[in-house]
Structures are given as structure tokens and as C-alpha cells.
A and B are shown apart, each in its own frame.
Chain A
Amino acid sequence: MSVYPGKFTGYDYDVDICLVIDRTGSMRPIIDTVKENALSLHRDITARMQAKGKTVTGLRVRVIWFGDYLADGPGAMVASDFLTLPEQNAALEQCVSGIRAEGGGDIPEDGLEALAFAIRSRWCQGTAKKRHIICLFTDAPAHALGFGAAAEGYPASAPKDFDELTDMWGFGQYPGEMDSYAKRLLLFAPDDGWWHRIRTEWENTILRPADPDGGLEDVGYAEMLDTIANSI
């Protein structure tokens, strides 16, 4: 006789991934990697999860591209909605194929504004186990929040300073704007400046350092997938 007549879903996860990508010129390798693998992202993540004995019951991906408001104007940040995979594989491919690596102005970019935008995503809220993952790629330091505030198109809702952004990420019983237990932040970024502060001050954050000389060329698709899968 079954002692547990219901369907067992203890292995099942709903996963939302927000890819936040610096779209300035030096990021071409990562941008090309995302373009080349958009169609296989669902298959590759579910395969890695199955290898761990876990099932991805729902996978949604959104993409945020960012640059420098002062240099790029209103087009500095472009974001898609969450796309449900694999049903919207073609929409994801279309979304990423139109992005060109260009712009950026000075060396730092407005990555913190993009991160705030990602934190405020409409994450899945079902009852299943869930993981909300922000995966940010940049080879540049970040401007301080508000650096580009004078530019046309700068988001009025952007946090005014790093403390406010930190509050948005939250901590334990002071939850911020994301689910405390579901959230993970994976940074592929230089380990200095604001990115270093995030690594050392924010919980559930992993930083894979970008080489200041070689950019993110060494970060392969497999490493990105492994880092995502290990965080679930």
C-alpha cells in the first residue's frame, strides 16, 4: 500500500533566470555565446539538472542589455519580458539576435542600474520550489548609481545609492525585493569596485572574476551553465 498516494514533487523546481549583459564592444564573445546558445538553453539546463536528480518543471529567461546612459542615451538599457522555455525559444533567439556589441562611452558602465532593474523582475511566485537567478556579465567596473542621472531615459525608479540597492537585495529576515531563499546572484565581473563590495557584502552571491586584460573571453557557456545548475 502506498504511504504517499500523491504525486511526489520534491525534486521539482521552477527556475527564473535573468541574464544581465553588458553590451559594450569588448563583450562581443559573451554576447555571441548567448546568441549561439539561446535555442539550446532549455535543453542544456534541464540536462544538467537531471544529472543531479532534479527536475526543472518551469524555466523562464529574460535578458537585460546595458551600457552607459550618458553615452548611449535612452537605449542604454534594453530588457525583454520573461520568456517561457522551450515554448518561446524562437522569441528568445529573436530577442538576442538583434543585439550588437557597441557603445559604452568611458570604461565603467551603468551595471548597477541594470542590476536594480533585474532585482525588480516579476519573478515566478508559484508554490513549487523556486530559484530566482540573476546572472550578470560585464568586463567593466560600474559607475556609482546616479552617475548618468542627467541623461535622457535614465530610470526614475533607480535606487539613489548603493545602500538602497543593497536593501533591494535584502538579507535573511529583512527580505528586500526578492524571495530570500530563492534568490541567487552570479556575477561574471571584475573583482573590484562595486562588484567587489557586492561579493563581500551580499548573501547568496558568487563572483567569477573577469580578467581585467582578457575580459570574459575565458568564461565559456559550460561554466555559465554549471554555475547556474550548481546554484539550484
Chain B
Amino acid sequence: MRDHIYQYELLTPFTTEGSGTAQWCKARHGGETFFIKQFLSPTQPPAGADMSRPVNRAKRDACIAFFRARQRLYNALREANTGALVCPNSVDGLFVWEGHYCSVSRFITPDVPPEAICRLPERVRVILMRTLTLALAGLHRQGIVHSDLKPDNVMVTVNENRACNLKLIDFDGSFFADTPPSRTDELHGDLAYLAPEALRFLMEEPVRLTAAVDVFALGLVLHAMWCGRLPRFDGTRARSAGEACLLGLDVLPDPALPEDLRRLIARMLQADPARRPAMPQVYDALGRLLALYPYPG
């Protein structure tokens, strides 16, 4: 195993676990741990390549397009960051190593694993849910759709004052709402959290994906943050909540949820993306929920 990529000391071998389009590893530099992701495509033409060959020109053009698209995304993420986004730095967060582009962002491990968030005090849960919603609202204001929202991409850490912080990670599948994916291979969501229109897109139907896919996924994530599981649906007929919506089956929020939250999540999980609330409305609704859980004492 190589031991360095530029200034980064590699801590683990590269793996493709959880990614069909990249391989990743952990690395260290300056006392901090980083997450390095190496994209499988595009590849640069090799040094001294014969640029009269079409394949080399195609590689060069694809690399320029990839670099510009990433720069646009990383710049917009910087503008969108409310403090809860862990994303590549727009200046040195993208470089080429051995022909492939690599992105670098801080490596975060959760102090509170996703399945344990539901055991935090109710008020803390609502604050974390609002923090996540505010982060997504910031993305949407910049025209960015996260598109791979799921509990594994929501990191809850605990600081020295025992206060919980929430960070949103993994923007490799993100796209701008004005240039949504046009091919199924460009959509990188987790099937369990994909909205029904995203599933139709995977079926190669002419669907234009919007920020509403994040609202649907957030509805599922909020449900899991509150009670530790996803809403119920007929698992013998559908393999995900999105598929259940497509099939016209009920997707039922848990009765243990507070009534206001249950109603909010039900609106977020509507099959018709146009009927789902926008992120600011979700944020406001969670604000009203927060009022039900005042500070102790």
C-alpha cells in the first residue's frame, strides 16, 4: 500500500465500500483526519499523450467539464454552509492523483450513532432535526440538491460541553436543480431513501428531479431520528417507502410520534413532489414543535 498522497499520510487502503463511482480512504495531515475520495471517472490523458487521438481529446474535455462542475459545486457549498456542512474545500479540496480526481474533506465519526439519536432527550432531537433542515435549506437556497440524504450521512457529535452538534456529509451525488441528472447512472441515492419520482427516473421515465427529493428523504430521516425506525409500509409489496408511494400503498408514520411531527412527515412523504413542503416550511414547523419541549426547569 502506498503511504502518502501528496501531504496526506494514508491510514487505510482504498476501498469501494458504499460507492460505485469512487474509492476512498482515511488519511492524516497536520494532526487532522481526512476522507479522500478518488473518482473512477474521468481519467486524465497521460503525460505526453498523443492529443490527435480522439480518446485522449475526449478525456481532456471530460476532465475540464468535471473540474468546472466540481468547482461550481464546492463554491456553492461554501456559500450554503451554515456550519453544518462538511464538504471539500473549494481551493485545495480537489486534485489529481495518478490520473484520477480526488476530493478531500474532514473525516468525521459520529459520537452518537444514527440508531441512538432516538434515545436523546426530545428537545435535543428537535434541535438536531432543525439543524439538519436548516443545512438543507441553505443548500436549496444555493440551488443544490443533496440527493443522498440518509442517516449514515448525518453525523451527530458531542463537544466538550456535552452539547450535540450535527454535520451533514457526502455531496458527491449532489446536483444543481437547474442541471438535474439526465442519465440514471448520475443519480447516487440510497434506494431506501429515494423519493418516488427518483424511482421513476431510475425506470427511465422523463422525470425532472428537484429539491423535493431531499424533502422526501428528510421526512424519512426525521422519522428515524425521532423513533429509530422508518415509517411502516407493506414490505411484501414494496421494498422502500418511495416504492410504496409509487404503488399507492400507505406509508404510515409511527403513532408514537407527536401529532404535529406525524402530520409534518406525512406531508413530506407525499407521492406528488409539488405537494411536499419546502425546507423553510419544515424548519418553521419544527420550530413550533420545539416550543413544546422547553428547557428543563
Chain A residues with CB under 8 Å of chain B are 1-4, 8-11, 52-54, 129, 163, 166-167, 170-174, 176, 181, 197, 199-206, 209, 226-227, 230-232
Contacts and interface: CB of A to CB of B under 8 A. Distances in A.
A203 B58 contact: no
A176 B45 CA distance: 16
Nearest to B46: A201
B17 A226 contact: yes
Interface of B: 1, 15-20, 23, 40-43, 45-46, 50, 53-55, 58-59, 62, 98-100, 183-185, 190-192, 196, 199-200, 202-203, 238-240, 243, 245-248, 271
A53 B240 contact: yes
Given A4-B196, A8-B199, A201 B246 contact: no
B247 A171 contact: no
The 8 closest A-B pairs by CB, nearest first: A2-B248, A10-B202, A4-B246, A200-B99, A203-B41, A230-B16, A174-B58, A53-B191
Contacts of A227: 16
A163 B48 CA distance: 13
A11 B239 contact: yes
7 contacts: A54-B191, A172-B62, A200-B98, A203-B42, A205-B40, A230-B17, A231-B16
A171 B62 contact: yes
Contact of B46 (A3, A181, A200, A204): A200
Contacts of B240: 53
Contacts of A176: 55
Main secondary structure of the interface of A (DSSP, over half): loop
Given A3-B271, A8-B246, A204-B41, A199 B54 contact: no
Contacts of A203: 40-43
Given A2-B247, A174-B54, A181 B185 contact: yes
A194 to B, nearest CB: 13
Contacts of B200: 4, 10
A11 B98 contact: no
Given A171-B55, A172-B41, A172-B42, 17 more contacts: A2-B247, A3-B246, A3-B248, A4-B246, A11-B191, A52-B191, A53-B191, A167-B53, A167-B55, A171-B58, A172-B58, A201-B46, A203-B40, A203-B41, A209-B1, A227-B16, A230-B18
Contacts of B247: 2, 4, 8
A171 B59 contact: yes
A8 B203 CA distance: 8
Contacts of A201: 43, 45-46, 99
B53 A163 contact: yes
B199 A200 contact: no
A173 B46 CA distance: 18
Contacts, number: 98
Contacts of A231: 16, 20
A8 B1 CA distance: 42
B100 A200 contact: yes
Contacts of B40: 203-206
A123 B59 CA distance: 24
A206 B16 contact: yes
Nearest to B56: A171
Given A8-B203, A197-B46, A200-B100, A206 B245 contact: no
B54 to A, nearest CB: 5
A171 B53 contact: no
Contacts of A4: 196, 200, 246-248
A1 B248 contact: yes
B55 to A, nearest CB: 5
B203 A170 contact: no
Contacts of B15: 230
B203 A171 contact: no
A27 to B, nearest CB: 22
Nearest to A127: B204
A134 to B, nearest CB: 14
Contacts of A209: 1
Contacts of A10: 191, 199-200, 202-203, 243
A173 B271 contact: no
Contacts of B50: 163
Contacts of B54: 174
A171 B40 CA distance: 12
A199 B54 CA distance: 20
A60 B99 CA distance: 32
